[in-house]
Amino acid sequence: MDLREQVLADHTRPNAVRIADWIGRDQKRFDALMQLFLYDEHRVVQRSAWVLSMCADRHPELVLPYMDRMLAHCTKEGVHIAVKRNVTRLLQHMPIPEAQEEAVLNLCFESLADPKEAIAVRCFSMGILADLTARYPEIKNELRHLIEDALEHQEVSAAYKSKAKRVLQQLNKKTKQ
């Protein structure tokens, strides 16, 4: 399979699944996907982000060597929303290595605090931060404040409200324990 050609062929779920199936557990194929995700032109990066997320769901160990570069990619000026959405999506389903926790905390807090950020990114960030409170209980108050402030002072979607309710319940449970 010509990976780049296939990524560009069709921007549909079946095509993304086909590519993720082809990559499987193969590190070299995953490396080729990461080259597209990190260094190719805008449209290729956008489309490869979806496949990256699928691969990470199936085989999170493939992502680990790329964590630093992947997180840095999310903070680039003008990065496509698909990049941040899919990276934050995959981060919520995998253990975050201690070496990258600070970068993940920064990315998620910045995303959550930005009312212009995409709702999906903000919701995924909320979940990631809630999970990280187990390791960093000192972030609970800041997380709670950001969520409550957005609910009170911003026009937020039903998805945001729903996620916020679940995360606040999770934080309240952890506080009582």
Residue 83: how many CB atoms within 10 A of its CB? 23
Task: Please say whether the dihedral angle defined by the alpha carbons of residues 30, 49, 87 and 36, taken in this order, is positive or negative.
Answer: positive
The model carries a pTM of 0.90
Q: How confident is the model at residue 154 (pLDDT cuts 50, 70, 90)?
A: confident
Mean pLDDT of the chain: 94
On the question of pLDDT at 40 being above 70, the answer is yes
Residue 63: how many CB atoms within 10 A of its CB? 21
Task: Please say whether the dihedral angle defined by the alpha carbons of residues 67, 70, 1 and 93, taken in this order, is positive or negative.
Answer: positive
Give how far the C-alpha of residue 7 lies from the chain's centroid of Cα atoms, to the nearest Å: 20
Residue 177 has what pLDDT?
56
